[in-house]
Homo-oligomer: A and B are copies of this chain.
Amino acid sequence: MTDLTLLDVTAAAAALRAGDCTASELLQAYLARIDQYEPRLNAFITLTAAAAETQAQAADTRLRAGRPLSPLDGVPVALKDNIDVAGVVTSNGMQRHVVAAADAPAAHRLRAAGAVLLGKLNLHEGALGATTDNPHHGRTHNPWAHDHTPGGSSGGSGAAVAARLCAAALGTDTLGSVRVPAAYCGVAGLKATTGLISTRGVMPLSFGLDHVGPLARSVRDLALLTTVLAGFDPASPESLPAPDSWTAGGGAPQSPAGLRIGVLANFAVGETTPAASDGFAAALQRLRRLGAEIVELALPGYEPGRMRLAGVLISEAEAAFALGEELQTSPEMASAAFRDMVAFGRDAPAWKLVRAQRALAEAGVACRALFDEVDLLASPTTPQAAFRFDAPVPDSQADFTALANIARCPAVSLPSGLTPDGLPLGLQLMAPPFAEARLLGAAAAFEADAALALTPPAYA
Contact = CB atoms under 8 A, between A and B. Distances in A.
Interface of A: 207, 234-238, 313, 317-318, 320-321, 324, 345-355, 358, 361-362, 364-365, 368-369
A135 B238 CA distance: 40
B324 A351 contact: yes
B350 A234 contact: no
25 contacts: A207-B358, A234-B365, A234-B368, A235-B365, A236-B365, A237-B362, A237-B364, A238-B361, A313-B350, A317-B353, A317-B354, A320-B351, A321-B355, A321-B358, A324-B351, A346-B349, A346-B350, A346-B351, A347-B349, A348-B349, A349-B349, A349-B350, A350-B350, A350-B353, A353-B353
A320 to B, nearest CB: 4
A113 to B, nearest CB: 25
A355 B362 CA distance: 23
A320 B350 contact: yes
Nearest to A357: B207
Nearest to A234: B369
Contacts of A324: 351
Nearest to A346: B351
Could you say how many copies of this chain the assembly holds?
A: 2
Contacts of A353: 317, 350, 353-354
Nearest to A364: B237
Contacts of A369: 234-235
Nearest to A317: B350
A354 B320 CA distance: 9
Given A207-B358, A207-B361, A361-B207, A351 B317 contact: yes
Contacts of A313: 350
Nearest to A204: B358
Nearest to A241: B243
Contacts of A362: 237
Contacts of A354: 317-318, 320-321, 353
A364 to B, nearest CB: 6
Contacts of A349: 346-350
A352 B350 contact: yes
Contacts of A236: 365
A349 B347 CA distance: 5
A351 B321 contact: yes
A100 B365 CA distance: 22
Contacts of A320: 350-351, 354
A192 B345 CA distance: 34
A236 B358 CA distance: 11
Contacts of A368: 234
B317 A361 contact: no
Which 3 pairs between the two chains have the least Cβ-Cβ distance? A237-B361, A317-B350, A321-B354
Could you say which of A207, A234, A318, A324 has the most chain B C-beta atoms within 10 Å of its C-beta? A318
A318 B349 CA distance: 12
Contacts of A364: 237
A350 B358 contact: no
A354 B315 CA distance: 10
A324 to B, nearest CB: 6
Contacts of A358: 207, 321
A360 to B, nearest CB: 9
A393 to B, nearest CB: 24
A376 B361 CA distance: 32
Contacts of A318: 354
A209 to B, nearest CB: 13
